[in-house]
Amino acid sequence: MTKQQPAGPLLAAAIAFVLGALCVLGFAPFAVSPAPTLALGGLFLLWRKTASPREAMLLGLAWGAGCFLFGVSWIYVSLSQFGGMEPLAAAGATLLFCLYLALFPALAGGVFRRWRRNTPRDVLLFAGLWTLAEWLRGHLFTGFPWLAVGYSQSPPSPLAGWASVLGVYGLGFIVALISALLGEMIATGWRRPRSWLVILLLLVAGGVLHRMDWTQPVGAPVTVALLQGNVPQSLKWDPKRLPLSIDTYLRLAKTHPATLTVLPETALPLYFNEVPREVLRGLTSHGSALIGVAIGTTEGGYTNGAVTLTADLATNAYAKRHLVPFGEFAPPGFAWFFRFAHIPMSDFTAGPPRQEPLSIVGQRIAPNICYEDLFGEELLVALPAATLLVNLSNTAWFGDSLAQPQHLQIAQLRAIETGRVMLRATNTGMTAMVGPDGVIAATLPPFVTDALVVQAQGRTGLTPYARWGNLLALLIAVGACLTALRRRQGQSL
């Protein structure tokens, strides 16, 4: 028999693209948690067969293109439908952004092919490089860690418990390791029974960790009303429709009494000092409030803020620290972008990196605004003082897309990492309460005008991840790479 020739580069790239698209099924709303394992396992097999680092990079780029073009397609919705950008320009910008994100798996592929030793320890190199590439994507140019594979392992995945120790990047390392172990077994005719044992131990340990109570309840539960105004983005910033926003939130607050009423990001399209006092009194008619609203600064700028308000109108505020490039500020050299997109209030000032939790209704609340909850390590600065986490978001920017359920899934991982309840008040969805175990305790359907009234229990204490942040995951990733590269006795480099 003649030896079968390997698949051509174009076919391999097409397979990699499909595998990347398959990975998206692991994320909400599909939540098929094994899908990323299969997608990464297939990529590992493709990388093993490459003849050069360049070929491996191209396959990584194709894999990333499939994943991000399908997984963050909502960028196009934001730019064209609500950002005022011409459809062709919005499509081009979305494509370029997704290709930029795809550079990170491409980088991991090139390094893997250059460093791999054709030994079983290549699985460690694969997992370590994948983790380091995802961490880099989450930090370079302010970071965009959306669709990091660890997010796909939210409950009920048996691996979810690892997030309390290693965070989302460490959880991604475990997914990549299992993927490579399966790929290695396929490549060797299933002749590695120890690999099954390692996979089983990782799954069992994840289940055990998920049942551990790293934090403890503190204080009495608080009745919280999370308001979902469902104000259309196209009308929100129209001065003539200002009463629509105000009347909607006043009605929801008055008909859903609670100790704490929470309004989403920029729920009132005014500066806080412009909000009429009768509106503030209406929002606090049953108790205190936490309001998403722009706050003017003494320097003449404005911050994206969250203001606590008591019944006697005493206030305290949090200013968003991690702003969205091209949405809330223009990166240096990119001011021209806003000639093509028309985004209201797109020149925010970032708040200070460290801000004390807001004390209200007997709890210490750490707000995070919209996309800030993608950066798990940044939320840790409020711990252990904070007893509740509250996310305020205006996801109307992304229409009826994958962004909303994906964002809720991100909140599930933040809850596990911190051992805290995560409350979410959003304009159009997904308004929800997530327990400290990452399980969604209650949620509203998207695109309805309603309020979610829940009993939120504050918690104290620290998970291992809250103590170490991403350090342990990074040490494991680097250690895995060094172990894979270690010279065996009698083996040359």
Could you tell me the two tokens for 82?
């609500």
Query: Coil, strand or helix: which one is 371?
Result: helix
- Give residues with Cβ within 8 angstroms of 487, minimum separation 6: 493
Instruction: Show Cβ contacts of residue 80 under 8 Å, excluding neighbours closer than 6 positions.
Output: 86, 87, 90, 91
The better pLDDT of the pair 273, 491 is held by 273
Contact 227, 189 (CB under 8 A): no
Alpha helices by DSSP H, listed for 260-321, are 277-283
Has residue 234 got a pLDDT over 80? no
- Tell me which residues are annotated as active site: 265, 320, 370
Residue 410 pLDDT exceeds 80? yes
**Which domains does the chain carry?**
10-213+469-485 (no CATH), 216-462 (3.60.110.10)
Residue 287 DSSP label:
S
Instruction: Look up residue 259 and give its amino acid.
Output: T
Task: Output the pLDDT for position 82.
Answer: 75
What angle do the packed helices 9-23 and 34-48 form, to 10 degrees? 160
Q: In which band, very low, low, confident or very high, does the pLDDT at 491 lie, cut at 50, 70 and 90?
A: very low
Q: Decide if pLDDT at 274 tops 50.
A: yes
The label of the residue with tokens 């302010």 reads: 142
User: In the block, which residue shows the tokens 């919005």?
Assistant: 90
Percent of the chain at pLDDT > 70 equals 94
- Whether the Cβ atoms of residue 114 and residue 481 lie closer than 8 Å to each other: no
Confidence at residue 336, expressed as pLDDT on a 0 to 100 scale: 63
pLDDT per residue as tens digits for the range 126-179: 999 999 999 999 999 999 999 999 999 999 999 999 999 999 999 999 999 999
How confident is the model over 188-193, as a mean pLDDT?
Answer: 80
Residue 1 has pLDDT above 70, yes or no: no
Whether the per-residue pLDDT at 490 is higher than 70: the answer is: no
Cis status, amide bond into 353, omega within 30 of 0: no
What is the chain's mean pLDDT, rounded?
A: 92
Q: Residue 358 forms beta bridges with which residues?
A: 365
The pLDDT tens digits of the residues spanning 436-459 come to: 999 999 999 999 999 999 999 999
pTM as predicted: 0.94
As a whole number, mean pLDDT of residues 225-247 equals 85
Concatenated DSSP letters of 226-257? EEE----HHHHT-GGGHHHHHHHHHHHHHHS-
